[in-house]
A and B are shown apart, each in its own frame.
Chain A
Amino acid sequence: MEYVSPEGLRLDGRRFNEMRQIVAEIGVVSKADGSAVFEMGNTKVIAAVYGPREIQNKSQQLKHDRALVLCEYSMAQFSTGDRRRQKQDRRTTELSLVIRQTMEACILTELMPHSQIDIFLQVLQADGGTRSACINAATLALADAGIPMRDLAVSCSAGYLNSTPLLDLNYVEDSAGGADVTVGILPKTDKMDAKLPMETFETVFALASEGCKAIAERIREVLEENTKQLEYRRAA
């Protein structure tokens, strides 16, 4: 199957280095300490952060000098084309772990000993790149909750199909079986699914990093806008 047309356009009309439309909104779950929706094209994720608060289950506390970060990822029944049957599968567990590790590296956990921070991610629509969307949503929600972080952790995927590096894969491109790299910038975590020669890896990696930077910019804009709104409301 042809994923890139001779004119250099992809299946959904994007160019190789073009991202899908990003929509981000802060404060969607009123009861949570911090929350955000993050959309990348048709992929839509809600993140809610509860904490820092007292550790609920003492047996989970491994280190006494820093906060405990917990993360749970769940997909809505209607998020994919076919209805999903099982709730907890290995993919979900793995994703929770990846996101948890990324966020843990980014939060200044040593400032909040004896406390826990819960991050809940709910996928409403899945169209490729849920891993990246989740990390971006979690960052926004953490910022909304006012949790101290080293930097904004952002993530973006890139792949290699039809001998072209492609930014921000959608579901069709993702399931094409080519290599794909998800990069989380700041705490450098990356993950790969298929084999890729070293030289190509570098270009794909660079492309994903570029994508991350663009997303970080967008996230910063959203946060600044939100802060302005808050300031305005306080003045009024």
Chain B
Amino acid sequence: MVGISVGEQHFLKGGIAQDLRTDGRKRLTYRPISVETGVIPQANGSARVKIGGTDVIASVKAEIGRPSSLQPDKGKVSVFIDCSPTAEPTFGGRGGEELSSELALALQRCLLGGKSGAGAGINLSSLLIKEGKICWDLYIDGLVISSDGNLLDALGAAMKAALTNTAIPKVKVSAEVADDEQPEIDISDEEYQQFDTSSVPVIVTLTKVGAHYIVDATAEEESQMSSAVSISVNRVGHICGFTKRGGSGMDPSVILDMISVAKHMSETLMNKLDSEISAAEACEDDES
């Protein structure tokens, strides 16, 4: 937790009211974002995203699994977040668990769509290998290395980048077998399949401090927030998920206003992120 004095609190809030924040940004300006892909060689896909002082890594691992009986035609995706104590001493022991599960749930909601699997950011049917028998289980692990506010947006961006970086081996299902038997599979070493991540949403968090709301809050600004709204928006401008955090209530009209601002901000963020991701991918290709 950031401890700041009463004087600093006034300075911070006064700055936000005048549209000039303590680090010189306007209310709706992001800190510099940098993306690096392929940072974890053991994973099928990985990315590291830095937004100012916030530093997160996301990795995607694929394992062969069995589709759930409710959705025999879809693969499974699960999201786990780990807040490393390197980021904040209070995350030591079990201290980070509450925040971790809150973040994981919010990301799951933003990324994976409804219970039926409809509206998910990635096409879950593309994870299917044999209906009702075999599918890929995707495990998305996020790790917070350094935290300076706006974790959710950073993790959302890292996941999008990691999914873009992901390559899953192609699988051949050998000869037909009887319905009740598990078919044999052959995992290719050479051919890989990639995901279309253009419909994966980005997350924009608007943090309300005093009467105004700001984008990309630092840890200091977050310590003064009354509430925060995270909105995930996809490329066509549709709202995919919505999470509100923080104790105090909000007027519905403010929320509507925030949604339209978030929608506008998401376009800039999405474009920025896409160019960073493709630059990172190109850079990685050069090295290999």
Contact = CB atoms under 8 A, between A and B. Distances in A.
Interface of A: 28-32, 35, 42, 46-48, 50, 56, 72, 74, 76-81, 83, 118, 120-122, 124-125
Contacts of A121: 86
B86 A78 contact: no
A226 to B, nearest CB: 18
Contacts of B139: 77, 83
Nearest to A123: B84
A31 B148 contact: yes
Interface in B59-106: 59, 61, 63, 80, 82, 84-89, 92-93
Given A29-B145, A124-B40, 8 more contacts: A28-B146, A46-B145, A72-B85, A74-B85, A77-B59, A81-B42, A83-B139, A118-B92
Contact of B89 (A47, A50, A76): A50
A48 B219 CA distance: 18
Interface in B225-275: none
B190 to A, nearest CB: 20
Contacts of B92: 72, 118, 120
B57 interface: yes
Contact of B42 (A29, A32, A56, A78): A78
B87 A78 contact: no
Given A31-B147, A47-B86, A50-B89, A78 B40 contact: yes
10 contacts: A28-B145, A29-B145, A30-B55, A46-B86, A74-B84, A76-B82, A77-B139, A78-B42, A78-B59, A120-B92
Contacts of B143: 76-78, 122, 124
B46 interface: yes
B82 A77 contact: yes
Given A31-B87, A48-B86, A78 B46 contact: yes
B17 interface: no
Nearest to B48: A124
A31 B86 CA distance: 9
Residue from the set A29, A77, A78 with the largest chain B CB neighbour count within 10 Å? A78
Nearest to B148: A31
Nearest to A75: B82
Contacts of B145: 28-29, 46, 122
Interface of B: 40-43, 46, 53, 55, 57, 59, 61, 63, 80, 82, 84-89, 92-93, 139, 141, 143, 145-148, 219
Contacts of A125: 40-42
Contacts of A124: 40, 57, 143
B146 A29 contact: yes
A120 B53 contact: no
A168 to B, nearest CB: 19
| Pairs A-B, 4 closest by C-beta atoms | A48-B86, A78-B59, A77-B141, A120-B85
Contacts of B141: 76-78, 83
A107 to B, nearest CB: 17
B46 to A, nearest CB: 7
A122 B89 CA distance: 12
Contact of B41 (A42, A48, A76): A42
Contacts of B41: 42, 125
Given A77-B143, A78-B61, A72 B93 contact: yes
A48 to B, nearest CB: 4
A28 B145 CA distance: 9
A48 B55 CA distance: 13
Nearest to B97: A87
A48 B85 CA distance: 8
A23 B29 CA distance: 35
Contacts of A77: 59, 80, 82, 139, 141, 143
A145 to B, nearest CB: 13
A78 B146 contact: no
Contacts of A48: 85-87
Contacts of B86: 29, 32, 35, 46-48, 120-122
B221 to A, nearest CB: 14
Residue from the set B40, B89, B139 with the largest chain A CB neighbour count within 10 Å? B89
Contacts of A32: 86, 146
A125 B89 CA distance: 21
Contacts of A42: 41
Contacts of B59: 76-78
Residue from the set B43, B46, B147 with the largest chain A CB neighbour count within 10 Å? B43
B57 A120 contact: no
Nearest to B96: A74
A120 B89 contact: yes
Contacts of B40: 78, 124-125
Contacts of A76: 57, 59, 82, 84, 141, 143
